[in-house]
């Protein structure tokens, strides 16, 4: 009997899927945003999908996999796009989607199982007491909260609250270790960094306790500019308005808004750059006054004055922003890809200007203003009109040479897609919590190859991905 | 019949007070914080106090005063300390305290009459829907919301929302003009600046619409340091923590906390500087983790772990901060006074260090961290161990020479206590709304003496204050 057959026997009675086509489908995320990852990961698949309904069932899965030395790659709904949740070494794809209960809501706090869909949490907290999560990805309507914490970094709301990494944006995580007898750990404070944004390589998040903030009927607003740099300056100034409550500020360069936002196209000229905003309803007078200070600004659309028909047919503004901009672009033009850039404060506007002048319509700008270490600055998620991997790497180098660090979305490892160095805390915790190295193998270079030289400019290729 | 007697006749049936002792008492604010203002304003009194119960009664008062050319100085409860609401030319002291209804509460918004007490608004909005005002003065339990807007600039909560002047921190003001037929104006957006922080010199605010935010049971925390500069650095770093929700950060130099905070004294050594904080209850784990990053920090007190007896006897943390620090100091040592300083970003810490080194215990530090034009920086409300007016002016000059502008709390005019220049918008609106110049005479230099030279270093003295 193979290990896999033995495992299936051990998991008798649990929800298991082994139809190869379905397993392959559930082994994928949005890695295909990247032509580089597409080439590397397209063939990746697990051996079976297990979907536990409770922590007890989950512990049963882990114990069995540990006993049979079978890798476990945890996933929510696979909305990541770094290949975070793709099982490079096969084995079990652990779907958390059936552990989706919202367990407790109180002032400022929600407790939910890791597989709860982000927008479902917001629905529950809004109905309960007019509250909502501080931060959500543009994929809120499909992503799980556990996946967001394990594989994401911020998103809508980051203009007010910074990123997930910031102390206070996650209150508590309940985590299982991958041992003969899995431990249940409750992590708070500094400990949270052990497992956050670790792609599930060193523990399984089963429950989250997250801070809430006041929920409002956010007004979606599109503001048009003839010049992308005017849009960038507007976004920066808006972010620095301390009393003007917004949840999202995303300047996007022409012709992307017209070309990609098909259902909003009628509001946007092809040569118009657009700032996508979400504004508190009671701040609209102040927002209008602020916008009038910019001669070049034109309010193209505001949902609080939209027709019933428009309100029904238009997607929410946050589904024009963050990686939904890229997604909408890929639907129109599958040949594009994108990058993730940080324009560091206080030279963010100069950085944007320099890269815009340097790269023009080969890399049309898309900015996301955020609070970052207490200051307002912006990330870039520019579209790249992709030609070759060589040129892509050149574009990356051009950004870095101009003081704009890249978080490379064309790499599937923690280190290469992030800070290009080992996270010692995460590595140390993996030694404790996953001694056999069975959790999401291949994603933490420091584990796989402690001698890997990050400065070599060599690509890390997980041995499991070598194909004959 | 004198004009005053004619007025009284016109106002028959309204609540009027003309007992000279009571009128004098209701003509005063906290001007005596300043030994300079104390000398200038101690004799000031109105002729009678009128307390309208409705806008209709208020209009009756204004029409009658206009007809008889009698000055009207509007006041809430007189918690200002620049002499804002003191009737330099006598006449009617218009008390707004009977117009104190909370009229409407909805998500993110409260509508109240101008005379409503700030903490009473918070009580109503908390009970209604777990909301509270974004900003309040340390005098929240006595101050009116209209007085705060007409005479204040920010306070508790400014670490999150900036100041009242920032777009969005006031939604709408209903304002009466001082004309033969008073007009009722509804102001929003840019128009708000016409009457905000104008000391009631160009209109009477009768109703306010203010933004609300989520209310929490804020945890009062005192963190101790052996070195004031460590306390300042801690406060600055805390303010820059994007995910850690606090409402107040005030580093105060030893020996002030021990000497002035009598009911907290048992927690504080005499040589300890203290950072007074208000922290969201669900952020306390993160706050503790953050504090542990500072070797020099010692958590002296946290209200979420305090005894019942302490909770009953201790004043709230916000009554240790802002001008309550000064007030508590004056109770212990009536010879002190204070200043208001801005330490501009990004050199706020260097500015504090320089002034601390320069002035030592003659001017013990008190900082209030705030968001200011999108960045975290601090105001100073340092205590001054007062000797002479000459030395006070020297201390002011030393600050200004070191790049730390002073908002002089020893001046009763709008211009001298503020930006040292005429606010053209406020002046223009006064020409429209108060053609006879009857509203709070003597406070707007630009009106009284358009040729006054602000660069002359000469003090403006309202003619009405000249005494033989």
Q: pLDDT tens, A177-211?
A: 999 999 999 999 999 999 999 999 999 999 999 99
Which of A155, A168, A348, A372 is the mutation pick for testing B, counting most B CBs within 10 A?
A168
Residue B193 shares a structural domain with residue B108: yes
Query: Does residue B81 carry a pLDDT above 50?
Result: yes
Query: Does residue B37 carry a pLDDT above 60?
Result: yes
Residue B256 shares a structural domain with residue B386: yes
Helix spans in A118-184 (H): 118-129, 145-151, 158-161
Which of A106, A153, A233, A242 is the mutation pick for testing B, counting most B CBs within 10 A?
A242
Q: Would you say residue A442 lies in a domain?
A: no
CB B78 within 8 A of CB B95: no
Q: Please state, in angstroms and rounded to a whole number, the distance separating the CA atoms of residues A351 and A234.
A: 15
Q: For the ranges A164-168, A454-458, B34-38, B103-107, which has the lowest average pLDDT?
A: A454-458
pLDDT tens digits along A307-333: 999 999 999 999 999 999 999 999 999
Q: For the ranges B92-106, B250-264, B444-458, which has the lowest average pLDDT?
A: B444-458
Residue B125 shares a structural domain with residue B270: no
The partner residue sitting opposite A244, judged by closest CB among B167, B281, B373, is: B167
Q: Would you say residue A44 lies in a domain?
A: yes
Residue B274 shares a structural domain with residue B369: yes
Task: Note which residues in 328-387 of chain B have CB less than 8 A from chain A.
Answer: 346, 371-376
Looking at chain B, the whole-number percentage of residues with pLDDT higher than 90 is 93
CB contact under 8 A, A375 and B211: no
Query: Does residue A468 carry a pLDDT above 60?
Result: no
Total residue length of chain B: 468
Last residue within a domain, chosen from B384, B401, B418: B401
Which of B110, B127, B159, B168 is the mutation pick for testing A, counting most A CBs within 10 A?
B168
Residue A377 shares a structural domain with residue A237: yes
Report the number of distinct structural domains present in chain A.
3
- Binned at pLDDT 50, 70 and 90, residue B466 comes out as low
Residue B159 shares a structural domain with residue B282: no
Q: Would you say residue B297 lies in a domain?
A: yes
The CATH number that applies at residue A118 is: 3.30.465.10
Query: Does residue A467 carry a pLDDT above 60?
Result: no
Query: Does residue A340 carry a pLDDT above 80?
Result: yes
Which residues in A213-233 are b (16+ Cβ under 10 Å) and which e? bbbbebbbbbbbbeebbbbbb
Task: State mean pLDDT over A18-39.
Answer: 95
Residue B115 shares a structural domain with residue B159: yes
* Lateral strand order in the sheet of B375-380: B341-343, B375-380, B367-372
CB contact under 8 A, A373 and B242: yes
- Binned at pLDDT 50, 70 and 90, residue A58 comes out as very high
Q: Would you say residue B333 lies in a domain?
A: yes
Residues in B touching A107 (Cβ below 8 Å):
130, 214-217
Q: Is A214 on the interface with B (CB under 8 A)?
A: yes
**Predicted local distance difference test score (pLDDT) of residue B465:** 72
According to DSSP, the residues that pair with A371 across neighbouring strands are A376
Residue B295: burial class (beta carbons within 10 Å; 0-12, 13-18, 19+): exposed
pLDDT tens digits along B408-418: 999 999 998 88
pLDDT tens digits along A419-435: 778 889 999 999 999 99
pLDDT tens digits along B284-326: 999 999 999 999 999 999 999 999 999 999 999 999 999 999 9
Q: Would you say residue B186 lies in a domain?
A: yes
Residue A302: burial class (beta carbons within 10 Å; 0-12, 13-18, 19+): middle
- Kindly give, in sequence order, each residue whose CB lies less than 8 Å from that of residue A266, ignoring residues fewer than 6 positions away: none
pLDDT tens digits along A365-421: 999 999 999 999 999 999 999 999 999 999 999 999 999 999 999 999 999 888 778
pTM flag (> 0.90): yes
Query: Does residue B455 carry a pLDDT above 80?
Result: no
Phi, psi angle pair for B295, to nearest 5°: -60, -35
Task: State mean pLDDT over B167-173.
Answer: 98
**Predicted local distance difference test score (pLDDT) of residue A307:** 97
Q: Would you say residue B356 lies in a domain?
A: yes
Residues in A touching B346 (Cβ below 8 Å):
346
Owning domain of residue B263: 219-401
Residue B82 shares a structural domain with residue B134: no
Residues in B touching A167 (Cβ below 8 Å):
241, 243-244, 286, 289-290
């Amino acid at each position: 009997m193979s290990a896999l057959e033995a495992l299936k026997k051990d998991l008798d009675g649990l929800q298991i899927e082994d139809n190869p086509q379905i397993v392959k489908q559930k082994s994928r995320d949005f890695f295909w945003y990247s032509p580089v990852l597409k080439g590397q990961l397209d063939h990746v698949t697990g051996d079976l999908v297990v979907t536990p309904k409770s922590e007890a069932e989950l512990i049963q899965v882990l114990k069995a996999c540990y006993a049979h030395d079978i890798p476990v790659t945890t996933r929510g709904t696979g909305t990541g796009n770094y290949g975070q949740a793709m099982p490079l070494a096969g084995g079990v794809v652990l779907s958390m989607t059936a552990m989706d209960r919202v367990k407790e809501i109180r002032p400022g706090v929600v407790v939910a199982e890791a597989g709860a869909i982000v927008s479902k949490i917001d629905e529950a907290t809004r109905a309960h007491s007019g509250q909502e999560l501080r931060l959500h990805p543009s994929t809120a309507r499909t992503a799980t909260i556990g996946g967001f914490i394990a594989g994401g970094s911020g998103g809508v709301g980051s203009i007010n609250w910074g990123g997930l990494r910031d102390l206070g944006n996650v209150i508590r995580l309940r985590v299982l270790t991958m041992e003969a007898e899995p431990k249940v750990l409750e992590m708070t404070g500094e400990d949270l960094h052990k497992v956050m944004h670790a792609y599930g390589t060193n523990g399984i998040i089963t429950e989250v306790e997250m801070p809430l903030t006041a929920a409002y009927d956010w007004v979606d607003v599109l503001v048009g500019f003839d010049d992308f740099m005017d849009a960038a300056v507007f976004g920066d100034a808006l972010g620095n308005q301390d009393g003007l409550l917004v949840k999202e500020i995303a300047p996007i360069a022409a012709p992307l808004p017209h070309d990609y936002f098909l259902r909003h196209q009628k509001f946007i000229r092809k040569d118009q750059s657009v700032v996508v905003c979400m504004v508190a309803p009671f701040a609209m007078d102040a927002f209008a006054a602020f916008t009038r200070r910019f001669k070049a600004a034109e309010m193209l659309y505001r949902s609080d004055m939209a027709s019933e028909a428009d309100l029904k047919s238009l997607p929410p503004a946050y589904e024009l922003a963050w990686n939904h901009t890229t997604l909408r672009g890929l639907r129109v033009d599958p040949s594009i890809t994108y990058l993730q850039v940080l324009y560091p404060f206080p030279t963010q506007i100069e950085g944007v200007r320099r890269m815009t002048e340097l790269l023009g319509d080969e890399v049309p700008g898309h900015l996301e203003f955020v609070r970052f270490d207490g200051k307002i600055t912006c990330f870039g998620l520019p579209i790249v009109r992709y030609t070759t991997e060589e040129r892509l790497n050149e574009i990356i180098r051009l950004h870095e040479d101009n003081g704009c660090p890249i978080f490379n979305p064309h790499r599937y490892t923690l280190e290469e897609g992030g800070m290009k160095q080992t996270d010692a805390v995460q590595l140390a915790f993996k030694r404790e919590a996953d001694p056999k190295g069975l959790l999401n193998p291949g994603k933490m270079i420091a584990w796989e190859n402690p001698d890997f030289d990050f400065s070599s400019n060599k690509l890390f290729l997980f041995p499991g991905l070598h194909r004959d």
